[in-house]
Structure 1
Amino acid sequence: MRAELRLDGVKLAGIDHAILENIAARKLPGAVFHLEREGAVYEKAYGRFTYDEGAPPVTPDTVFDAASLSKVLSTATSVLLLAEEGKLDLEAPLVRYFPECTGGGKEAITVRQLLTHSSGLPAGLPARPAWAGKESAHALACSQAVTHAPGSFFRYSDINYILLGQLVERAAGMPLDRFAQQRIFTPLGMRDTGYRPLERMAAARIAPTQRGADAVAGTALHGDLAPGQLLAGVVHDPTVRRMGGVAGSAGVFSTARDVARFGRMLANGGELDGVRVLREESVRLLTTVQSPPGLALRGMGMDIDSPYAQRPRGSVFPVGSYGHTGFTGCILWVDPQSRSFYVFLSNRVYPDDKSNVLALYTQLGTLSAQAAGVAAAAAAASAAAAPR
């Protein structure tokens, strides 16, 4: 680490204050924050697992439901690995791999369009009539019709990534969770990351997300849950629960330290601690604009400049930085120019999925960039490049 690279303590204190203020307002019970720039690291845990006075404190080892961070930690990265091996063609039509998806305008959808959310498919699978299992999810996904011509419209869609997760399984010849574990999480040393965490760790390490009913009002939440049932180590996303806990759209659980290892790998061009996980070209496809002209700027996985990017990016990180969020209250945001990134994991959906932490996202994005000296670095780079 160069001697002049230090994180700004005043801005770090601002991050602490913002998170603690939201905990005091009962917008989230607990969280872990991690900020890093070229070896300078700030990591801190806040709050408790729940709002109960005797609840366990959150620590840096606390495991969180990463929700849609799964789309980049697992699915998109797996697709790109299979493309590197020639087992998938990113420009091929979906129906080449899934002929059963023919119809409803889906013949024109390509793998690229699924990755960039430009397929024209609806946002999610219907919950009724009741269904369960991966096979039922696949049949439902294949029965959907596009609402817009593929390549002409941006809509963030879980269906896109459910199909991509199933595509990984077909191309790899093994389940998505096993492929991601063997090819991504284990090589990166992400020891606490994976699907269905209760198969390998105690529930006591995992921050809970939601209860099946509001104990006061008696209002049913996520109708597939029993009254009072607490989700801890069971995926929060109801569609993924119906699929058995593993899907391309959600299902990964992780710690902030593990997600930071993934972010560090991307900032290093696909390699970490001497282990290459992705080729540099695959990192480029994942993290730079690959969406059709005129649509929200997305990589083949990462968000760059869509309506969902503006809050976690904040007001200082430039367009060209990239990342993703998760519904449970999670962020990974990376600035390749300054080689800085931040991770925020929380269980803001506890206990009833009613809190809103979007304003906190904006604060974290702005303060993280300021703490890492991103604005100063950009100004210095601009001055160095100016003609003399």
Structure 2
Amino acid sequence: MDNGPKPMFPNPEISRFLSERIDKGDFPSAVYVVAQKGEVVFADALGHSVLEPYRIVNKFDTIYDLASLTKPLVTGLLCARRIEAGELTPDSAVAHYLPEFDRTDKQMITIRELLTHTSGLPAWRPLYILTENEPDRTAGAIANLDLENKPGTHVLYSDLGFVTLGFLLERITGHRLSELAQQEIFDVLKLKQTLFNPVLALQTGIAASETGNEYEHDMADQMEAGHYREWRQHVIWGEVHDGNAYFLGGAAGHAGLFSTAFETLQIAKQFLSASSRLLKPATCEMFRVNMTPDLNEARSLGWQLAETKDSTAGPDLPKDSFGHNGFTGTSCWIDSGNERIYILLTNRTHARKLPFSNINAVRREFHTLATDALDAYLS
């Protein structure tokens, strides 16, 4: 399978819109891919993937830090494979696999609640501070935190829940998460530019991120988390932007994945029953099902559903479409019913002082323009 860049046809309206947002300073670069029934229909690469320390023109095969797209594309997919095989049961207690969670307030938290962000775990904490920079203490440190909500009663998007799922997968398999992803996803799909911890030789082909960890530093200060001496000060370029993932060795259940738009598409296709090589059709249908009815967000296993109020899907994707965003400026949305996939990769944290641009409106407009373009193309 050749997953590399091919001659593509940009859509003028989409490319013009994203170029305007680059000119406005929302992000320095963007690559988009719009596909239907497994085939790319529209794609383009815009802007500069690096502005500092020098400028590099963006390309179709630029590798991006996908940030939280790691959650569904790696951790969620690996969990779904184990649910399908009967190795995991969604309503089993996390404490059954991670003894650290065998405590009064957390012993009933389930796998499903971690996957749907209803466990009650906090959204984020600087684990490198909580553990005094000792990764082996991380699972216990998370289990020791107070819950924000009673499990199963409220959707609270939580990095810590997916960090926990990463540990759980490692415990039940005896393999590192990065090894599982390589063996079960990247190798099977013949992905050559999808990886954790890129080697230095790849750096110039990677979109750069923030200078230092100023954003996380500010968050840690606001919650009075404590002193930390090892904040990064350099341009984060070719290493994971997320501080907790960096602390955990570059590969964690919530962040750390790097890929191109075209290879991200190959993983996204594994969630469609018509094209998946890694999951059975019945398993793929789970991602369209709202598992948090009557709560504040509509969530399936690892994904947010478009029926969620103010989701970045926008108004034109069907309600059972599912998607995810990444903090660095990435997103992937899947309209399973029409076999459509929308991928937008940007590096909004690069070469910009805080606050970073909120690009949710850009994502919604991208989906609207792409849907209109697909409808016109196929009519």
The TM tier, using the shorter chain, reads: 0.7 to 0.9
CA deviations 1:197-219 (Å, max 9, x no partner) are 227x52111111011288xxxx9
Task: Measure, in 2, the Cα distance between the counterparts of 1:148 and 1:171.
Answer: 27
Shift, 1:374, TM fit: 8.8
Aligned residue number for residue 231 of structure 1: 236
Structure 2 residue ranges without an equivalent (≥5): 1-8, 221-227
Task: Measure, in 1, the Cα distance between the counterparts of 2:163 and 2:16.
Answer: 38
Identity %: 28
The answer to whether structure 1 residue 170 and structure 2 residue 171 are counterparts is: yes
**Matched positions, count:** 357
The answer to whether structure 1 residue 252 and structure 2 residue 254 are counterparts is: no
In structure 2, relative to structure 1, the CA distance for the partners of 1:103 and 1:305 (3 Å cut) is: farther
CA contact (8 A) 2:320 2:335 kept: yes
In structure 2, relative to structure 1, the CA distance for the partners of 1:92 and 1:84 (3 Å cut) is: same
Q: TM-score, normalised by structure 2?
A: 0.87
Q: SS in structure 2 opposite 1:344?
A: strand
Aligned residue number for residue 6 of structure 2: none
In structure 2, relative to structure 1, the CA distance for the partners of 1:117 and 1:269 (3 Å cut) is: farther
Q: SS in structure 2 opposite 1:250?
A: coil
The answer to whether structure 1 residue 261 and structure 2 residue 253 are counterparts is: no
In structure 2, relative to structure 1, the CA distance for the partners of 1:129 and 1:360 (3 Å cut) is: same
CA contact (8 A) 1:212 1:221 kept: no
The answer to whether structure 1 residue 145 and structure 2 residue 146 are counterparts is: yes
CA contact (8 A) 1:32 1:256 kept: yes
CA contact (8 A) 1:332 1:341 kept: yes
Q: SS in structure 2 opposite 1:345?
A: strand
Q: SS in structure 1 opposite 2:258?
A: strand
The answer to whether structure 1 residue 373 and structure 2 residue 378 are counterparts is: no
Aligned residue number for residue 37 of structure 1: 36
CA contact (8 A) 1:94 1:111 kept: yes
Q: SS in structure 1 opposite 2:343?
A: strand
Q: What one-letter code is carried by the residue in structure 2 that aligns with 1:331?
A: S
Task: Measure, in 2, the Cα distance between the counterparts of 1:234 and 1:278.
Answer: 30
Aligned residue number for residue 161 of structure 2: 160
Aligned residue number for residue 3 of structure 1: none
Task: Measure, in 2, the Cα distance between the counterparts of 1:153 and 1:71.
Answer: 19
Q: What one-letter code is carried by the residue in structure 2 that aligns with 1:98?
A: L
- Counterpart mapping for 1:128-139 below 5 A: 128-129=129-130, 131-139=132-140
Task: Measure, in 2, the Cα distance between the counterparts of 1:152 and 1:93.
Answer: 16
Runs of 4+ off more than 4 Å: 219-223, 374-377
Aligned residue number for residue 3 of structure 2: none
Task: Measure, in 2, the Cα distance between the counterparts of 1:213 and 1:322.
Answer: 30
Shift, 1:247, TM fit: 0.6
Aligned residue number for residue 120 of structure 1: 120
Q: SS in structure 1 opposite 2:252?
A: coil
Q: What one-letter code is carried by the residue in structure 2 that aligns with 1:368?
A: A
- Counterpart mapping for 1:335-374 below 5 A: 335-351=335-351, 352=353, 354-356=355-357, 357-373=359-375
Q: SS in structure 1 opposite 2:57?
A: coil
Task: Measure, in 1, the Cα distance between the counterparts of 2:333 and 2:371.
Answer: 10
Q: What one-letter code is carried by the residue in structure 2 that aligns with 1:251?
A: G
- Counterpart mapping for 1:1-388 below 5 A: 12-38=11-37, 39-51=39-51, 55-103=55-103, 105-127=105-127, 128-129=129-130, 131-198=132-199, 201-212=201-212, 224-227=230-233, 229-269=234-274, 271=276, 276-305=277-306, 310-351=310-351, 352=353, 354-356=355-357, 357-373=359-375
Task: Measure, in 1, the Cα distance between the counterparts of 2:54 and 2:329.
Answer: 23
Task: Measure, in 2, the Cα distance between the counterparts of 1:155 and 1:221.
Answer: 17
Task: Measure, in 1, the Cα distance between the counterparts of 2:63 and 2:122.
Answer: 31
Q: What one-letter code is carried by the residue in structure 2 that aligns with 1:257?
A: F
CA contact (8 A) 1:176 1:247 kept: yes
Shift, 1:362, TM fit: 1.6
Task: Measure, in 1, the Cα distance between the counterparts of 2:255 and 2:40.
Answer: 30
Shift, 1:103, TM fit: 2.3
In structure 2, relative to structure 1, the CA distance for the partners of 1:280 and 1:374 (3 Å cut) is: farther
Q: SS in structure 1 opposite 2:253?
A: coil
CA deviations 1:141-183 (Å, max 9, x no partner) are 1112222211111100011100101111111210011101111
CA RMSD of aligned residues (A): 2.6
CA contact (8 A) 2:273 2:280 kept: no
Q: What one-letter code is carried by the residue in structure 2 that aligns with 1:241?
A: Y
Shift, 1:184, TM fit: 1.2
Which shows bigger deviation, 131-140 or 174-183? 131-140
